[in-house]
């Protein structure tokens, strides 16, 4: 009879893999790709180093996989927030709020995508381009649904501006205290590009 692992065994394996993935996001976000080591990841996850190599052959494979998973998660989060609304202006506000909230409460995810591995892994370059294209297309479509003339360069500027504003927010001592002002500023920027002035920017004091 062929060996079949029990459901309990599979759950234990899944739990260890999940722990390593969560630990790796934090380690890569904090240290960057080059400074982070496999030992850092397993120590953070509380697993043996052999467990790491059971799932991944090397650090680069793990990082590329993490990037893909994290990019998909962010896109799903943004798209779900946008799809919850039918009015384009509200779609923008909802998407922006989802992005900022994710950055404040799960900063490692945003740090990993925007900072952690920039230029570190050549095999990741194409995936980075694909991720950026997805983000740009999403914001461009919403703006154009409002009647805005959202050309390619404008869409790139908007997506890049959003990322910069979110990173600046995370660099502050208490990001949660400034989140609402950042949401207002990002939303207002989008609406201006769409040719409207429906949201006032709150003063960030």
pLDDT of residue 118: 64
pLDDT tier at 2, thresholds 50, 70, 90: very low
pLDDT of residue 127: 86
Three-state secondary-structure class, residue 75: helix
Q: What is the pLDDT of residues 26-51, one digit of tens each?
A: 898 888 888 899 999 999 999 999 99
How many other β-carbons are positioned within 10 Å of the β-carbon of residue 84? Answer: 12
pLDDT tier at 5, thresholds 50, 70, 90: very low
Round to whole Å and give the CA distance between 150 and 65: 32
Give the Å distances, CA to CA, from 12 to 8, 17, 42, 129, 133.
6, 9, 16, 35, 37
Give the global pTM: 0.82
pLDDT tier at 10, thresholds 50, 70, 90: low
Q: What is the pLDDT of residues 155-169, one digit of tens each?
A: 888 899 999 999 999
Q: Which residues contact 39 (CB under 8 A, 6 or more apart)?
A: 49
Q: What is the pLDDT of residues 85-135, one digit of tens each?
A: 988 889 999 999 999 999 999 998 888 888 866 677 787 888 888 999 999
Spatial contact of 92 and 142, defined as CB atoms under 8 Å apart: yes
Round to whole Å and give the CA distance between 93 and 188: 9
* For the chain, domain boundaries: 59-193
CATH 1.10.10.60 fits 59-193, yes or no: no
Structure tokens given for 76: 């799903």
- The CA dihedral of 177, 204, 160, 198, to the nearest 10 degrees, is 110
Spatial contact of 127 and 71, defined as CB atoms under 8 Å apart: yes
Which has more pLDDT, 195 or 2?
A: 195
Q: Is 8 a residue whose pLDDT tops 80?
A: no
Round to whole Å and give the CA distance between 24 and 30: 10
Q: What is the pLDDT of residues 49-93, one digit of tens each?
A: 999 999 999 999 999 889 999 999 999 999 999 999 988 889 999
Task: Look at the block and give the residue holding tokens 């793990």.
Answer: 62
The mean predicted confidence, pLDDT, of the chain is 84
Round to whole Å and give the CA distance between 109 and 91: 22
Q: What is the pLDDT of residues 170-205, one digit of tens each?
A: 999 999 999 999 999 999 988 887 775 444 333 343
Question: Alpha-carbon torsion 162, 27, 65, 124, what sign?
Answer: positive
């Amino acid at each position: 009879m062929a060996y079949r692992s029990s459901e309990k065994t599979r759950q234990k394996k899944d739990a260890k893999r999940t722990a390593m993935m969560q630990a790796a996001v934090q380690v890569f976000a904090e240290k960057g790709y080059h400074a982070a080591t496999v030992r850092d990841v397993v120590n953070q996850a509380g697993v043996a180093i052999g467990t790491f190599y059971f799932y991944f052959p090397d650090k680069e494979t793990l990082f590329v996989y993490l990037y893909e998973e994290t990019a998909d998660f962010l896109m799903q989060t943004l798209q779900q927030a946008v799809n919850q609304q039918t009015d384009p202006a509200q779609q923008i506000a909802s998407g922006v709020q989802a992005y900022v909230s994710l950055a404040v409460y799960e900063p490692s995810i945003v740090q990993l995508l925007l900072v952690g591995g920039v230029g570190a892994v050549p095999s990741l370059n194409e995936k980075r381009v694909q991720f950026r294209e997805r983000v740009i297309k999403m914001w461009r479509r919403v703006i154009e649904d409002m009647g805005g003339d959202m050309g390619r360069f404008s869409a790139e500027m908007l997506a890049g501006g959003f990322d910069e504003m979110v990173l600046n927010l995370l660099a502050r001592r208490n990001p949660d205290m400034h989140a609402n002002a950042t949401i207002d500023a990002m939303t207002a920027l989008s609406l201006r590009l769409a040719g409207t002035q429906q949201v006032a920017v709150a003063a960030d004091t």
